[in-house]
Every structure is written in C-alpha cells, then in structure tokens.
Amino acid sequence: MKLGLFTAVYGSLSTDEMIEKTATLGIEALELGAGGFPGNPHLPVDELLADPSRAQAFVRRLADHGMSISALSCHGNPLHPDRDLAERDDATFRRTVLLAERLGVKTVVTFSGCPGDRAGSKVPNWVVTAWPPEFSELLAWQWEEVAIPYWREAAEFARTHGVRVALEAHPGFLVYNPETLLRLRSAAGDNLGINFDPSHLFWQGVHIPTAIAALGDSIFHVHAKDLAFQQHTLNRNGVLDPKSYRNVAERSWNFRTVGFGHGEQEWREILSALRTVQYDGAISIEHEDPLLSVDEGVRFAVDLLKKILPREPAAEAWWA
C-alpha cells in the first residue's frame, strides 16, 4: 500500500508549494481535485487536456519527487434535480475521466448523487426510511428511473477511456453504505466501485472490517479519515445530526484525523482487512478535523500510518 493524500487540504498553496510540502511529508500518492467539491486548486485541467506534453510533464514532475497520482476527484451530484446543476456536474465528471486517461490515472472519485422527489423538482431528497409509503415509492423511482440508467452509461463511458469510477459512500446521496454501493454496482457493472472512507460509515454503526470483506474487489480507492462520537450528545439525540460541522460542541459526532476517533489497533485491523481483500492501492489521507490545524492533523495521520501501513508483499504461507 502507498501513503497518499487528498491535496484539497492544501488548497491555499500553489501547485509548486503543495508538491514540495507533500514530498517532504513522505507522501507517495496524490489524489488531486479536478472540479466539483472542493474544486481543482492544483490541476490546470483545461491546459492539461489541451496539451498532451504538459500532461506528461506534470506526471514526470511528480515522479521526480517520488510521487504518483492515485486518483482524480470531482465530487458532485450528476443526478441533481436542477437540470443545470446536474449537467454541470456530469460535464465535470466526463472532463475528469478524459484528464485521467491523459495522465494515465486509473481511478476517478466522485459521489453517486441524489435526485429530487420528481422530475422538475429543484432540491435533492435523500430517503432513509421506508414509511410513510410514499418514501418507498420515491426511492424506487430514484433508483430505477434516474440513478441506474445514468450510472450504467457513465461507468461504461469511463471504461471506454480506461478509467474506473470510485463512488464515495456519503450521507445525502443514494450510495451511502456497502449495500447501496453493491446494489448500484450490480446494475451498472464492475467498472463502478467504491472510494472507501471509514469516516462516513463509523457513525452509521458499520463495523469497518466487515464492510471491507463484503465490498472485496469493488474497493478502488481508500480515504484515511476518522470520526469521534461525542457521547453526551449521542446519548441524548442519536447519530442523525444535521447541525453544522462548525458546531463541534453540540454535534453527536465529528470528523477527526486518523487515530483521534479510533485507536491504532482499530486502524491496524482496517488495514489488515484491506490487505485480506487484496487491496494494494493508496491510503489517501483526507483532513477535515475541526479541532486540529491542517499541518497538525496531516502530520498526526502521516505519523500513525507510516508506522502501521503494510509495505512489503505478504509472507509465503510456508506452514500451510
């Protein structure tokens, strides 16, 4: 496995500054934003698409610093009920796939998206309950009439360009846990998989190694981000919490850097589960910790992962 970083966290730095900083940290693989959320602070997308020589020079530049690109990210909602927003995010996705092909990157990370409650609506409607019955009817329409047709075609588009689609399971979108990812994959094909981010599963009560075993070879990319529960609020209100992420003191849970929500042993078990399903890609640190500075949070994650990340091939089973 390679130690990676989602570079959006250093969006305030120039591309040169970001490369120097991440190389100094010992990062081996960069996940680069190409549009959507949070944008593309380090990739001149149009210039790289227009000039193959510039794209090749960018890849060589990273290689000279001992780094490669693990994925391009373009988080958005191509199923948005507002047609203008959906078309914008779909165009960003397709442009990102073309850029990934040009850069020799095999994986594009995005969201599954979420439709509204009918054709012509303006706001997404995330359904997470079966009753009253109109919710079940709405969910069936969202999947069968919107999500499956879109992703069946979009995943095939990516395949024709030698690129895989890694959907980040995330609250607010149709794919938010292993079951929903596998449902969409079974309908759209095996060129669609998951960007596995434990932080979006911890709060749902998911046991991470069990989820990894269930997902198997559908894991295309991995984020390293943690989550901590705030027990007094959790005891009172439960896990569903729409309060602002800035309202740290009142939330039931908050995103944390690796090791600040779950300990080293639990992260060892996560990495072991990934190796068990033969995942050998990047472990891409994503910093969204409201209680640590960017540099501090990234450094803590780097230090812990450097200590426990498997580096060498698994031992031969001489005892078998």
User: Which of the four pLDDT bands, split at 50, 70 and 90, describes residue 249?
Assistant: very high
Q: Is the pTM of this model over 0.85?
A: yes
- Continuous H helices in the chain: 15-25, 45-50, 52-64, 83-103, 133-141, 148-160, 178-188, 199-202, 208-215, 231-237, 264-276, 294-308
Q: Which amino acid is at 80?
A: H
Confidence (pLDDT) at 218: 98
From the list 288, 284, 279, the residue with the least C-alpha distance to 310 is: 279
Q: Look-up: residue for tokens 């530049």?
A: 61
Instruction: Give the tokens for residue 80.
Output: 């948005």
Q: Which residue, chain included where needed, has tokens 């095996």?
A: 190
Residue 320 pLDDT exceeds 70: no
Share above pLDDT 70 across residues of the chain, in percent, rounded to a whole number: 98
pLDDT at 318 over 80: no
Is the model's pLDDT at 201 over the cut of 90?
A: yes
From 167, 233, 231, 232, select the one nearest 200 (Cα to Cα).
167
**What tens digit of pLDDT does each residue of 112-153 get?**
999 999 888 999 999 999 999 999 999 999 999 999 999 999
Q: Residue 319 — pLDDT band, cuts 50, 70, 90? A: low
How much is the pLDDT for 173? Answer: 98
* Helix axes 178-188 and 148-160, enclosed angle (nearest 10): 70
Look at residue 189 and tell me whether its pLDDT is greater than 90. Answer: yes
Residue 262 has pLDDT above 70, yes or no: yes
Of 37-41, 261-265, 293-297, 307-311, the range with the lowest mean pLDDT is: 37-41
Q: What is the pLDDT of residues 303-314, one digit of tens each?
A: 999 999 998 887
pLDDT at res. 197: 98
**Using one digit for the tens of pLDDT, what is the confidence trace for 66-115?**
999 999 999 999 999 999 999 999 999 999 999 999 999 999 999 999 99
Question: In the CATH hierarchy, which top-level class contains the domain 2-308?
Answer: alpha beta
Q: Strand pairing partners for 228? A: 254
Nearest alpha-carbon partner for 93 in 164, 29, 148: 164
